[in-house]
Amino acid sequence: MGTDPDTNDPLIDEVRQRRRELFASCGNDLNKLAEAIRQIEAEHPERLWDPRAEKRRSPRRPSDRA
């Protein structure tokens, strides 16, 4: 990954810095990074978002809102 220019947004800068650190921790190898991500997903499936689950939910009606 190339270096990203700093922005005026500290949050964006931190996310980019952490991305660079994570990629470097995998030896800058995209396959190793993907495997590390799959491992984390397998260890914590409750943290994953399933868009199909969102579609199964019924939409809230305005009368349901408090």
pTM score, whole prediction: 0.56
Dihedral sign (CA 65, 47, 12, 31)? negative
pLDDT at 42: 95
Long-range contacts, stretch 32-39, CB < 8 angstroms, 24+ apart: none
Write down the pLDDT at residue 1. Answer: 46
Which residues of the chain register pLDDT less than 70?
1-4, 56-66
